Structures are given as structure tokens and as C-alpha cells.
Amino acid sequence: MSDLQASLIDALQQAVAAAVAAALGDEHAGTDPLLRPSKDTKFGDFQANLAMSLGKKLGKPPRQLADMIAQQLQPGDLLSKVEVAGPGFINLTVSAQALNRATAVMLKSERLAVPLIQAAGTAVIDYGSPNCAKEMHIGHLRSSIIGDAISRVLEFRGERVIRQNHLGDWGTQFGMLLELLLEQGWSSSGEGSSIHDLDELYRQAKQKFDADAGFAERARMRVVKLQAGDEPSLKLWQSLINESARHMNEVFRLLGVRLTDKDIRPESFYNSRLPQVVEALRATGALVESEGAQVVFPNGFKDREGEPLPMIVQKSDGGFGYAATDLAAARFRVGELQAKRVIYVVDARQSDHFAMLFTVLNSVGWTNGAEFEHVAFGTILGADKKPFKTRAGGTVRLIEVLEEATKRAATVSGEKLEGASDAERAELSRAVGVSAVKYADLSSDRIKDYVFDWDRMLALEGNTAPYLQNAYVRIRSIFRKGEVSMEQLDPAMINIEAPEERMLAVHLSLLSATLDQVATSLEPHRLCGYLYELASLYHRFYEHCPVLKAETAVKQSRLALSALTGRVLALGLELLGISVIERM
């Protein structure tokens, strides 16, 4: 690949690898150069930190190795300066022409120079996946929006993404609910009952289930009947599902989550495949009987007493559980959907379940060469650091959160917007409010818990949605004021000079590498961090480098840099599922 096509970071990587090979021998050429953008231009634009790791490996002073490598990195077309500092950092300054070229290539490219991945495979992403018959609550937020962001990133990189909403429509919760309703004389249709009613009925059913052993038994038998195709059970069940799905789709629409009816492949879908799963497992010899149930003991899993932990495939009453359905779903995904990657975006509290599932799939040879990944995430906490609840201690309804976000955002957005209609203001508040909630979630380290904090998520400063949206708005306003179109700039005019321009351009060049990292780690917060840094660097650039007031050539170059920043921000927000707004 010529430098012209390779991204700046690829070109640097190749140059360092070649220098390592020349200095230390070909066998070391593959060493990760550990390239990082420098915090300050006085240390160049990038640092290559591989001398430290090589030093350990080869038992030589890193400084000496750094000098040897640096000697092979002659200034030229790509680099203007190479220096060794401290214990062995190699500071690289990119030549003006290379930086200008890399920036121009991005500006010219519709995809902002992010290559489509070669030999893309199919990724199945299981997200959203609520248990229905319950109203959507705060506990459903994370899977929905993290999964959505991941889907968008993989899709943009050219992977074939199949979204799957593994709707919980088939388990014990339905046994309880149906049993209660049928005993109360409900017949085939729960029509007219809203999700809100169902939520309340479900609470009653659960109470009765916990208090009344007879009811609990009947509820369990109800599941077995339902799964066996009992007509009255099925009919009532269907009407409950319809109402749940209607509500769920509405919430996804408000959230801007791209899950629709066609992505729903609920637990019940796998019902007819469950007996086959049992038979196929039996054939592998992995299935054993334990206390009347059909189970598998995945290697290495123990309960608290140190006894082998079973994964229950078929209960003693003949019913199938969560695990059986997941076995069937896994087979379907790698078999019929041809997935090369199966991604489950589910709460960290289910980590054991997925670890066991993947172990079983591997041990019986059912992965079909696909990679299985559990994308786990932490819990949303209240100010008291306990799982987020309403003041009264109840579950926080998702619809309510979105309404409150919209209301609170009215003070951040649109207040001073001249000539805006009430409808526009309302639309804007919604975009800012919902985005703030989503971004606060996506930007926190995925695996950790985080505290739900209205003031922080709506702040105009800091790593927040309003800050990023505002950065984009500011760029748009420059173009409005200057009466220039963001699309009509000449890449040939780009000429990076000031340190603030350099740092911005260097950071822009990292877009593709950042998306690579997100696609590998499945951590959207890395993209948030990148965008936040980008907005901050743009802010700094804007303070030090006049744009519209500069003389023509400089103005053209700075406009081009601004346009590129705006497009990268817009793309990044879009991939996170955050609304890009024109004014606020």
C-alpha cells in the first residue's frame, strides 16, 4: 500500500516496523510499535514506546534500543524529525506534507478514509432482549443502547450485522401471569389492557407465586402447557405479547434504537427446536441426568460448595429453561444465520450463564468456527450508590426517564434560539435530553457501574452529549456566518502550521484506528473518549487560530480543517446513536 492510501498511523507503523527490522533483525519487525499521539507538540506528534517492551524481552537498555531504531528512521517524506527522549521514547514528528496529505485524503473521502474491512463476515448481535409482560424500565437501557452503538460501528466498517431481539416471551414469568389471568377468568384476549396494567398484574402474580405454593406449582405447569401448545394458554399469551411488543417498539423509537419487529426472534421461536437440542446433546455424550433433570456439567464450573455446577437443559417436569433456549439460539445463529461472530450484550450479572454456555458450545463442538462474546456491562446506580430506583423505591420506568430528560434539557437547548417554533424547541429538547441520557451511559467504562446524575449528563462542559453537540453546532455556525458550504472545500488548500492545527490534524487521523479498537473491544466508550478529545482540541484550535478573519489561503485551510472536524463529529455521534443537531 502506498502512503497515499495508507492512513497516517498505518504509514508510521510500517516505517517503525521497517526500522526495527533493519536495526534488530526481521524477527522483531512484528513487535507492536506502541504508537501514541503526543500530549504536547514539543515531544513530536507521536511517540513509539516499543523500546521499553523490547528492552525487557532482549535484556538490553531500552534507551540503547531506541537509539538504534531511531537511527533507521531517517527524516524524509513521512517524518521531519526523530528524537529519543527519557528512558527510550521515540518521538516522531510527521512532516508537513505527510500531515497535509493525510488530512486531505480524509476530507476527500466520503467515508473519511475509514476502510471497509476485507472479507467481512456476519455478526449476530443479541441486544435489547427484554423480558416482556413488563413495562420497559431503566434496567433495559444499557443493553439497548450499547448494542445499538456496537451494531452501527460494525456495520459502518462493512460487517454484515444481524440484529436479534431475543425477547423473553416464554419463561416462568408467563406461567405466573397466564395462570393468574386465567384463574381470574380472562379468556382469549387481554385486548384493551395496556402495558401498565400488565405490569401491575405481573406484580400480583409474582407475589402470589412467592406466597402460595399451590399457585407456584400451577404456574410452572402452565409454562409446560404453553410450551406444549395448549390453545387457551397460547391465545391469551399472544395478546399479551402483542401489547408488550407494541410498547417495546415505541420505547426503542423514542430512544433512537434501531430494533424493529423484524429483529424480534423471541425465546418462543426456539421452542420447536428444543427437543432436537436435547437429542443432539445426548448424542455427544455430554448430557447426564441429575435429580430428574437433563443437565450438562461444563468443565471448570463449581457451585459455592465446590460441587460441579450443572447447566439445566430440561427440567424434571419436562419444561425447558433459559439455557436450553440459548443452546438452540446459538445453533441457529451459527447454522442458519451463518454468524462468524455472536455477540451478547447482556448485564454482567449473567456472566456465569454465558461463560457456561460458551464452554458447553465449545466442548460439544457446536461453535461452527464462530467467535462467541459476552459484552457485559455494569449497573446504573442512584446517588446513594445503590441500583437506581424512584424516590419511593420503585422501578424507574424508561418512558418516564425520557420525558424527564426532555423537560430538563429545555434549559440547556433552544432557549435563546431565535425564530424557532414551539414544535422545533420541543423537538430539540428531546434530541438533547435523550442524547444526554444515552451518552452518559455509553461514555462510562462499559464494565463498571455508574451513577445516574442529571446535572452531570446535561452539563455543557465535560465529556457529555451537549458538549459534543455544541461543538458541532459551533462548526456549523462558522460556515453559516462565512456563507461557505461545508462540502465545497478544496483539499489541496490544507496547510497545517500552528501547533493547535497540528494536534487537531493528528487526532483526526486516528479516527480509523479508533473505530478498529471499538470493533475489537466492543467498547463504545472509546469512541466517546475520542470524540471528546476531538471537540476539546477543536475548541483550543478555535481559540488560537482565527478562521473567518484569516487571510484567504489560511482561511481556506482552517475552514477545511473545521469541516473535517465537523464531519468526524457527526459520524461519531451517529455511530453512537446520538442526535446530530444543527442549532442549540
Residues that bind ligand ARG (CB under 6 A): 126, 129-131, 166, 168, 326, 329, 344, 346
Contact 17, 30 (CB under 8 A): yes
CB of 128 to ligand ARG, least distance (A): 9
Tell me the pairing of strands 35-37 and 371-375: unpaired
Sheet holding 311-314, edge to edge: 287-290, 293-296, 311-314
Beta-strand (E) ranges in 336-408? 341-345, 371-375, 380-381
CB nearer to ligand ARG: pick between 362 and 477: 362
Residue 343 three-state SS: strand
Residue 551: count of CB within 10 angstroms of its CB: 8
For residues 473, 474, 476, 481, the Cα torsion angle rounded to the nearest 10 degrees is 140
CB of 355 to ligand ARG, least distance (A): 13
Residue with cell 463529529: 569
* In the complex, residue closest to ligand ARG by CB: 168
Contact 500, 545 (CB under 8 A): yes
CB nearer to ligand ARG: pick between 130 and 414: 130
CB of 281 to ligand ARG, least distance (A): 18
CB nearer to ligand ARG: pick between 131 and 406: 131
CB of 325 to ligand ARG, least distance (A): 7
Tell me the pairing of strands 341-345 and 122-126: parallel
CB of 399 to ligand ARG, least distance (A): 18
Buried residues in 200-224 as b, exposed as e (16+ CB within 10 A): ebbeebbebbeeeeebbebbbebbb
CB nearer to ligand ARG: pick between 156 and 202: 202
Residue with cell 430512544: 255
Burial of 566 (0-12, 13-18, 19+ CB in 10 A): buried
Q: Give φ, ψ of 531 to 5 degrees.
A: -70, -35
CB nearer to ligand ARG: pick between 124 and 471: 124
Q: Which residues contact 440 (CB under 8 A, 6 or more apart)?
A: 450, 452, 453, 456, 457, 464, 465
CB nearer to ligand ARG: pick between 166 and 341: 166
CB of 132 to ligand ARG, least distance (A): 9
Residue 296 three-state SS: strand
CB nearer to ligand ARG: pick between 265 and 315: 265
CB of 579 to ligand ARG, least distance (A): 27
CB of 126 to ligand ARG, least distance (A): 5
CB nearer to ligand ARG: pick between 133 and 569: 133
CB of 205 to ligand ARG, least distance (A): 17
CB nearer to ligand ARG: pick between 398 and 515: 398
Alpha-carbon 378 to chain mean position: 13
